[in-house]
Amino acid sequence: MLIIFSVLLVLTMVLHPMGGSVEYLIHIRNVILVTHIIAIVSLPVGWVGFWGLTGAIGSDRVLSLMAFAMASIGVLAALIAAATNGLILPIYLDHFKDLSAAGIESIRPILRYGTAINQAFDYIYTFSFCGAIICWCTGALSTRSLPKWLAWMGIVLSGVIVFVFAFGVTQQDLSGLRWFITGIVIWTVLAGYALSRARDVE
């Protein structure tokens, strides 16, 4: 499940359009919808995979359960962010297809407010997923349910991502999103592979 989740995330990023003018966003509404629907579909797949990871590390351990709780919050925040930016925005802009330039200018404050809402949830899922990985990896160091190098990789990678976003080194725009997803995908694929190898050995 974790590997399928990662593949869907990569597909989302490949298809994700760059930002642009209101007219451009109206023109590519279908691309926006498809991209974010894929992202939304990936979330329950990832959630199931996260539960499997929690069980492998130890669902009776506080750190592992805390990680799953954080991941669940991250999934919910990602769902709201994807729905806001990928469903609500194009549906809203549909009503302004024939609006004049002056009319489009009048709705910009509403669009900026929507962007602010979306970014707030971006930060929530960024810190939630990173916190979850840190907890899983810390727990895995004691249970040895993941390779030691992979556990340390998750801790360091998540710490770097948190630092980058917390101190404004990069913003939660598409570039920042790609940074985050690239890091999460790399670790998630490796964790999924490690768990599948462990099951094959058993």
Q: How do residues 119-145 score in pLDDT, each as one tens digit? A: 889 889 889 999 999 999 999 888 888
Range from 46-55, 67-76, 165-174, 183-192 carrying the lowest mean pLDDT: 165-174
| Mean pLDDT confidence for 153-173 | 77
**3-class secondary structure, 164:** helix
Domain that holds residue 79: 2-201
Q: Which amino acid is at 71?
A: A
Residue 117 has pLDDT above 80, yes or no: yes
Which residues make Cβ contacts (< 8 Å) with residue 190, sequence separation at least 6? 150, 153
Structural domains of the chain, count: 1
Kindly write down the DSSP assignment for every residue of 19-55, as one continuous string: P--HHHHHHTHHHHHHHHHHHHHHHHHHHHHHHHHHH
Q: What is the mean pLDDT of the chain?
A: 83
Residue 192 is predicted with a pLDDT of: 83
Helices (H), ranges, 144-173: 148-166
- Residue 50 exposure: Cα atoms within 13 Å on the Cβ side: 27
More confident residue, 8 or 17: 8
pLDDT band of residue 153 (cuts 50, 70, 90) is: very high
Q: How do residues 40-78 score in pLDDT, each as one tens digit? A: 999 999 999 999 899 888 888 899 999 999 999 999 999
